[in-house]
């Protein structure tokens, strides 16, 4: 009988979630360490031109070759990770936080504010992500800041919808009723009971949002609406290499691979997180 | 207070949803430290009764008196949730505990209205855990790490820690297996005698009612079928429906068993 099995001092089995957290933490630490070591070991600067060695294919001195100005592509990829992944991280985190706030407020604040907030959300949904960012860049000029603002403006709605629907279901659960009977304030119930139970699902959504935003940042930079050359953003590097696609394809291949691998890795991690959460529930 | 005075008195409670009557003219009272069992089939309005008294459903009554909090209501039951100085133990203990909070944190919430220091709260929780025969290691366990019976004990601790004068139980045993049911039923009885807390228990289990209740209220389709002291109810049920219930319980063997257990 389980009542007996879990008696004093019994060691509890490792939950899949804590294992996932530990492994993900390890992988992230290794990646961050690799990035730092790479930046520390490389003898080049990301904007350091070498006109005598332009368009060089991969060779021992330049593992990933050089671009049309003779800049080391490997070094630029390392620096570019901060731009591509970092900007997308900022945008998707902004979306996560704003969307969660809007969704939970809508779920907990009565029918009129709920309807109002959700209609605003719906109207933001009407803007296609990339078109909205292009329009924003057209209005305010292409720059990194404008890119972040534009993408953030259209990245929060999915979170708001999910947070609202989960907030409504969890708000009906017995433990929330108990908290209300015990006189906890609405804010405390939101913070202690609803948010922790909503957050895991939102984090799964957030991983997919992060990876899609990486594509959006790189895509917009490639189109010239985002991060501007000579900044070593992966999309901007693709744009740099476009004229030499026939003669020196490695200039485009490596940044493209970097985008592909990082998006794939984040998506796979998100899938795994979803599976783990489904198990623990 | 002399033990014969009712702490909880309900007269003529009526609950309507649209033009459908969910509960009609229900009256009952509970003595200090007494136990009233509410019995009836699914949909008879047992849980509706609890929700209405707690203010989760719009309801009207001729009179509702709860002496410990000085409550004396005539007409509409206030919709602010929670009669003061009462607690509610629910059917599914795992649904009633936040999966992301430790048992200790969940139990502490029952003391939210009282201004206690962190240390006072913690020792109160440990004492309450001991009362329901859970060790101190359960303080930091999560609901997913304990059995259903242990979770229901934690819910019982959460109800008792605030020293309420009345606890509502909504089928507290029906999610558990028979052996755990029996243990927890005994524990409930011991704690009732020790703390002199009144119990209002909604249950399917006639055996449980026969063993522990002072009075029995039988509901059917929102109407009161019988409201009698327990012994009288078993010996001479007030209505044919109640008689059928007892007959069914006898033939299933649940009635005699639990009576022996008591």
Mean pLDDT, range B223-230, rounded to an integer? 90
- Quick one: pLDDT at residue B75? 86
Q: Which residue of A has its CA nearest to B87?
A: A181
> Do B114 and B18 share a domain, yes or no?
no
Is residue B261 scored above 50 in pLDDT? no
Residue whose tokens read 């080049």? A44
- Quick one: pLDDT at residue A215? 94
The answer to whether position A47 is within a domain reads no
Is residue B71 scored above 90 in pLDDT? no
- Quick one: pLDDT at residue B1? 41
The answer to whether position B92 is within a domain reads no
The answer to whether position B91 is within a domain reads no
The answer to whether position B131 is within a domain reads yes
DSSP class of residue B142 equals: -
> Do B145 and B195 share a domain, yes or no?
no
The answer to whether position B190 is within a domain reads yes
Q: Are strands B59-66 and B198-203 parallel, antiparallel or unpaired?
A: unpaired
Full domain range(s) for residue B36:
6-85+166-261
The answer to whether position A60 is within a domain reads no
The answer to whether position A246 is within a domain reads yes
What is the value of ipTM here, to two decimals? 0.88
> Do B11 and B43 share a domain, yes or no?
yes
- Quick one: pLDDT at residue B4? 67
C-alpha–C-alpha distance, residues A44 and B194, integer Å:
79
Give the distance from residue A182's alpha carbon to the nearest chain B alpha carbon, in angstroms.
5
> Do B108 and B229 share a domain, yes or no?
no
Q: pLDDT digits over A220-264, tens only?
A: 999 988 888 888 899 999 999 999 999 999 999 999 999 999 999
> Do B180 and B149 share a domain, yes or no?
no
Is residue B3 scored above 70 in pLDDT? no
C-alpha–C-alpha distance, residues B260 and B262, integer Å:
5
Is residue B2 scored above 60 in pLDDT? no
User: What CATH number did the domain enclosing B213 receive?
Assistant: 3.40.50.300
Q: Which of B82, B89, B109 to mutate to test binding with chain A, by most A CBs within 10 Å of its CB?
A: B109
Q: What is the dihedral of CA B29, B182, B170, A8, to 10 degrees?
A: 120
Q: pLDDT digits over A90-132, tens only?
A: 999 999 999 999 999 999 888 899 999 999 999 998 888 888 8
The answer to whether position A26 is within a domain reads no
> Do B52 and B41 share a domain, yes or no?
yes
Query: Where do runs of H (alpha helix) occur along B132-239?
Result: 148-161, 178-195, 206-212, 230-235
Residue A119: HSE in the Cβ half-sphere, 13 Å Cα cutoff: 6
**Candidate from A170-184, B25-39, B76-90 with smallest mean pLDDT:** B76-90
Is residue A281 scored above 60 in pLDDT? no
Give the distance from residue A121's alpha carbon to the nearest chain B alpha carbon, in angstroms.
29
Mean pLDDT, range B153-182, rounded to an integer? 92
Tokens of B30: 């509970």
Interface membership of B150 toward A (CB under 8 Å):
yes
Helix and strand totals (H; E) in chain A: 12, 0
User: What mean pLDDT value characterizes chain A?
Assistant: 89
B151 falls in which pLDDT band (50, 70, 90)? very high
The answer to whether position B181 is within a domain reads yes
Query: Residues of A at the B interface (Cβ-Cβ below 8 Å)?
Result: 1-3, 6-9, 12, 15, 173-175, 177-184, 192-193, 196-197, 280
B260 falls in which pLDDT band (50, 70, 90)? very low
- Quick one: pLDDT at residue A226? 87
Higher pLDDT, A55 or A165: A165
Full domain range(s) for residue A256:
72-280
Give the distance from residue B141's alpha carbon to the nearest chain A alpha carbon, in angstroms.
10
The answer to whether position A141 is within a domain reads yes
Mean pLDDT, range B158-176, rounded to an integer? 92
Angle between helices A157-171 and A73-108 (to 10 degrees): 40
> Do B24 and B116 share a domain, yes or no?
no
Higher pLDDT, B85 or B2: B85
> Do B142 and B185 share a domain, yes or no?
no
The answer to whether position B90 is within a domain reads no
> Do B103 and B130 share a domain, yes or no?
yes
Mean pLDDT, range B21-39, rounded to an integer? 91
- Quick one: pLDDT at residue A51? 87
| Residue A21: CB atoms within 10 Å | 13
- Quick one: pLDDT at residue A3? 45
User: What mean pLDDT value characterizes chain B?
Assistant: 88
- Quick one: pLDDT at residue A218? 93
- Quick one: pLDDT at residue A2? 44
Residue whose tokens read 């979803």? A274
Dihedral sign, CA of B127, B130, B132, B135? positive
- Quick one: pLDDT at residue B40? 86
- Quick one: pLDDT at residue B258? 47
Q: Where are the beta strands (DSSP E) in chain B?
A: 6-17, 20-31, 35-39, 59-66, 71-76, 86-89, 166-170, 198-203, 215-220, 223-229
Tell me whether residues B96 and A175 touch, CB distance under 8 A: yes
Mean pLDDT, range A195-211, rounded to an integer? 93
Edge-first strand order for the sheet with B215-220 is: B86-89, B166-170, B198-203, B35-39, B215-220, B223-229
- Quick one: pLDDT at residue B68? 87
> Do B171 and B72 share a domain, yes or no?
yes
Q: How far is CA B21 from the centre of its chain?
A: 23
The answer to whether position A16 is within a domain reads no
Is residue B238 scored above 70 in pLDDT? yes
Domain count, chain B: 2
Tell me whether residues A8 and B158 touch, CB distance under 8 A: no
DSSP string covering B44-67, please? SSHHHHHHHHTTSS-EEEEEEEEG
Domain count, chain A: 1
> Do B139 and B232 share a domain, yes or no?
no
The answer to whether position B239 is within a domain reads yes
Mean pLDDT, range B53-68, rounded to an integer? 89
The answer to whether position A59 is within a domain reads no
- Quick one: pLDDT at residue A13? 63
Q: pLDDT digits over A62-81, tens only?
A: 889 898 898 999 999 999 99
Mean pLDDT, range B112-130, rounded to an integer? 92
The answer to whether position A176 is within a domain reads yes
Residues forming a β-bridge with B65: B9, B72
Give the distance from residue A207's alpha carbon to the nearest chain B alpha carbon, in angstroms.
21
Share of chain B above pLDDT 70, in %: 96
> Do B190 and B207 share a domain, yes or no?
yes
B178 falls in which pLDDT band (50, 70, 90)? confident
The answer to whether position B33 is within a domain reads yes
Tokens of A43: 């003898």
């Amino acid at each position: 009988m389980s009542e007996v099995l879990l008696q004093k001092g019994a060691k509890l089995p490792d939950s899949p979630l804590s294992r996932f957290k530990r492994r993900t933490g390890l992988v992230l630490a290794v990646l961050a360490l690799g990035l730092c070591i790479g930046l520390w070991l490389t003898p080049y600067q990301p904007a350091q031109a070498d006109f005598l060695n332009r368009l060089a294919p991969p060779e021992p001195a330049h593992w990933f070759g050089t671009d049309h100005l003779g800049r080391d592509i490997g070094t630029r990829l390392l620096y570019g990770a901060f731009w591509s992944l970092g900007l997308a991280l900022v945008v998707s985190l902004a979306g996560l936080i704003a969307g969660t706030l809007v969704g939970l407020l809508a779920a907990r604040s009565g029918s009129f504010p709920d309807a109002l907030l959700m209609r605003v959300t719906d109207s933001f949904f009407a803007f296609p992500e990339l078109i909205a960012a292009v329009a924003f860049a057209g209005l305010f000029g292409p720059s990194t800041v404008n890119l972040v603002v534009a993408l953030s403006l259209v990245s929060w709605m999915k979170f708001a919808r999910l947070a609202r629907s989960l907030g409504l279901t969890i708000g009906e659960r017995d433990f929330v009723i108990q908290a209300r009977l015990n006189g906890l304030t609405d804010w405390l119930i939101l913070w202690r009971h609803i948010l922790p139970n909503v957050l895991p699902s939102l984090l799964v959504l957030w991983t997919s949002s992060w990876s899609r935003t990486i594509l959006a940042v790189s895509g917009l930079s490639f189109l010239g609406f985002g991060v501007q050359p000579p900044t070593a953003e992966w999309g901007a590097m693709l744009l740099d290499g476009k004229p030499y696609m026939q003669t020196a394809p490695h200039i485009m291949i490596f940044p493209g691979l970097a985008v592909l691998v990082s998006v794939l890795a984040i998506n796979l991690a998100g899938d795994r997180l979803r599976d783990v959460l489904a198990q623990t529930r | 207070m002399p033990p014969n005075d009712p702490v909880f008195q309900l007269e003529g409670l009526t609950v309507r949803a649209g033009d459908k009557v969910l509960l009609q003219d229900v009256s009952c009272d509970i003595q200090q430290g007494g136990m009233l069992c509410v019995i009836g089939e699914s949909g008879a309005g047992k849980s509706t009764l609890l929700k209405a008294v707690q203010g989760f459903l719009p309801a009207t009554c001729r009179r509702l008196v709860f002496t410990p909090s000085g409550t004396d209501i005539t007409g509409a039951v206030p919709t602010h949730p929670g009669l003061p100085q009462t607690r509610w133990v629910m059917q599914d203990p795992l649904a009633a505990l936040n999966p992301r909070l430790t048992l200790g944190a969940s139990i502490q919430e029952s003391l939210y209205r009282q201004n206690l220091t962190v240390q006072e709260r913690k020792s109160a929780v440990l004492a309450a855990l001991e009362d329901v025969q859970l060790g101190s290691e359960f303080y930091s366990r999560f609901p997913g790490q304990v059995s259903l019976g242990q979770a229901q004990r934690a819910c019982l601790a959460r109800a008792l820690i605030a020293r309420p004068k009345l606890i509502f139980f909504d089928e507290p045993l029906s999610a558990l297996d028979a052996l755990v049911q029996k243990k927890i039923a005994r524990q409930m009885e011991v704690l009732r005698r020790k703390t002199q807390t009144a119990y209002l228990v909604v249950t399917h289990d006639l055996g449980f009612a026969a063993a522990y209740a002072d009075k029995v209220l039988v509901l059917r389709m929102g109407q009161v079928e019988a409201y009698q002291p327990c012994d009288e109810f078993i010996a001479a049920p007030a209505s044919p429906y109640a008689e059928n219930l007892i007959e069914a319980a006898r033939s299933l063997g649940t009635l005699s068993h639990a009576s022996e257990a008591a």
